[in-house]
A and B are shown apart, each in its own frame.
Chain A
Amino acid sequence: MEYETVIGLEVHLQLNTRTKAFCGCSTEFGNEPNTQVCPVCLGFPGSLPVYNKQALDYAIKVALALNCRVQEFTKFDRKHYYYPDLPKNYQISQYDLPLARKGFLDIYLEGNNKRIGITRVHMEEDAGKLIHRQETSLVDLNRAGVPLLEIVSEPDINSPQEAYEYLTSLKSILEYLDVSDCDMEKGSLRCDANISIREKGVVTLGTKTELKNMNSFKAVKDALAFEVERQRKELAAGNKISQETRLWDPKEQKTITMRTKEEAKDYRYFPEPDLPPFIIKDERVNEILRGIPELPKTKTLRFMKEYGLSEYDAKILVATKNNADYSEERLRQGKNKKSVANWLIGPLSGIASSNNIEISEIKISTGDFLELIELVESKQLISNLRGKEVLAEMFATGKPPALIIQEKNLAQISDEGVLEKEIEEVIEENAKSVEDFKAGKANALMFLVGQVMKKSKGKANPKVVQEMLKGRLSHA
């Protein structure tokens, strides 16, 4: 039996506005419990909400970046359920007239472009946090009222890997828009998944299960992979899939059923009477559209075209906006684009990750960076290896490459006149290897080169040495 996997993802995104959705409390993370609160976000009797202009603008921005149709008329609704982290016992959300609909996100998997539909983007408020103890639970409402966006995909995703790609692409776009920290660990990006399987060729959807409690993109992928298998096994055993919510258990690496029987939820939605509706005219939409930067996918394709980069390399450089801008400045001014890309992706990224920063935070000027590449590659003043050391020194001291090479006496010796002496010495001292080479053992040559390198304390240009040795030894 061949099965097809059908996945839909629901992402909740915390917007990084300065204040909450409906009040002026700060959204800063990590303060003492119940100190970033006021009558409004505490849901005190008599309090009233007033929506954050920045949150609306960010919401429209996200909707546009996801190619959605922004609705001209949109409103908030109340969604009712009782839970102690929800002060009013209703959440201000959107039901039948969400901000935006019918968008898409393209993912690029193994050279193929796949379009994942976005059903809707809507605005709502976050709930507080709970700490569970044995007999009691503790409530902290600092997070209550933080503005959220809910992004719902069509069930167009057909594998855990595609889901992973969808999330990374989505995060990349959101990061470019600078509307959220997109951090799954901190909770500013959350993801729930709906998954079902069906026989290949069948049109109707199978029974879906909802997966929750996944705290990283990898966890989403693993959870989905586990669930696909679980559902497959169930069906193979002749059982039906029950429509339920399952939690991902990261320790046991499996999805588990929730203990209590879930009741069908009746949220009793109705239009929020305390908030008049929003009319979003084309001028406003266009204004926001103009403010959206070139997004990752377009930038990747452009990098590939303009700088002759491979898809793989382009994607790495384009991953964050700051890195992309930083890289582009260097690529544009550099002569050999591929070299520049290699140095960005290789040594420079190495320095960035060991120092726990982004490449865009590395304060090495474009001029110095490109000069180093020039000194290594075209002028061959130093070896590649030495070049990496110089780069590290440039990062540590801020000095230009030529100065460092001079100060540390790192210049590679390519002058044959200078090298001749050492080459002669090595040939004399290693008669056996010379004989081996003449006898046809290629390794012997490399050994001799190594000896010259040792004698010159690594400064000899190995390529030049190799050529000189070859030339010298092919004569009598």
Chain B
Amino acid sequence: MIEVVNNILVKIDDEGNMVSIDDKYQQLYVNMQKILGDKCRLKYEDGAREVEDIYYYLVEKIYELPAYAWDAEFKDGPKQKLDSAFNKFIHDKILWHPQQPYWHNYDSDARNLRQSDGKFLV
């Protein structure tokens, strides 16, 4: 689950611990607040909703280039769609495809490095 604590995004893990989230996502949250105002809400169910590609791309672009979020006013309809896209992006990137510590992939990486005859590629 992702929550906002003191205006900062945090991830709550299975054991109820608060796990910090990358600064780039915090910056995205701040920028989305700037664009969406009080329409910017973090809702778990919105993360699962289908959104129009263009809104998802806009959120992704703001994530990649925070300076992109500058001087643009959206009306209520597009704001709502943008908020859904933001939720989907956040849940998609942080909750459903979390970055695993490197040792989680150790076994599969080792297998991939091995050729079929058992020799290592590198």
Co-assembled chains A and B: no
B→A interface (CB under 8 Å): none
